[in-house]
Amino acid sequence: MRRRESTRRRVRIAALLGALIVMPLWAGLAATPSRSSTTHRTPTDRTTWDSVFSAAQAGRGETTYKQLCARCHMETLAGGDEAGELTGSAFMSSWNGQTLAELHERIRTSMPTDTPGVYTSQQVTDVVAYMLRFNGFPAGSVELTHTNDALKTIRFETARP
């Protein structure tokens, strides 16, 4: 009986990890040649390297993350039994070239997995700011806004332009 539970748990973990890494591909959110950093950028396009969040906002996001997200994704953002990592090369490459609107929407509509959609847009935006800071992106003087139109103009780029 115990072996069956262990096997089921491993299968659930593998499925969740696969979904976190592969789901953006299924949803058409993966980086494509038309979205890569080598494409033509308009003057209003920004990237995660353009100081798109404030340090104060990232601080609020850290508090929110520790209260709401760390139970699954761990305080180190390294992921847990059934939760994917929110830092590191796999995370960075899976979101590279996508907009912050796509990341925001993914978190807002699918987290936490047991009761998705319970977090406010502002909570999600603050957590995104914290995730950006944790992953080494620079803070600025203006807060990241949670309006979808604004987030659509900011692309997640792993390499500094």
Instruction: Domains for the chain: give ranges and CATH numbers.
Output: 2-29+44-155 (1.10.760.10)
In this predicted structure, the answer to whether residue 3 has a pLDDT above a threshold of 60 is no
What is the reported pTM?
A: 0.73
What integer best gives the mean pLDDT of the chain?
81
- Backbone dihedral angles phi then psi of residue 128, each to the nearest 5 degrees: -60, -40
The mean-pLDDT minimum among 12-16, 118-122, 144-148 falls in 12-16
- Worst-scoring range by mean pLDDT, 33-37, 85-89, 122-126? 33-37
Query: Tell me, what's the pLDDT at 39?
Result: 46
For 33-84, the pLDDT digits (tens) are 334 444 444 545 899 999 999 999 999 999 999 999 999 999 999 998 889 9
**Confidence check: pLDDT of 145 > 70:** yes
Cβ distance 17 to 90 under 8 Å? no
Q: Within 13 Å and on the Cβ side, how many CA atoms surround 44? A: 5
User: Looking at the predicted structure, is the pLDDT value of residue 5 above 90?
Assistant: no
> Where do the DSSP E strands lie in the chain?
46-47, 154-155
Compute φ and ψ for 36, nearest 5 degrees: -65, 165
Separation of alpha carbons 96 and 137, rounded Å = 13
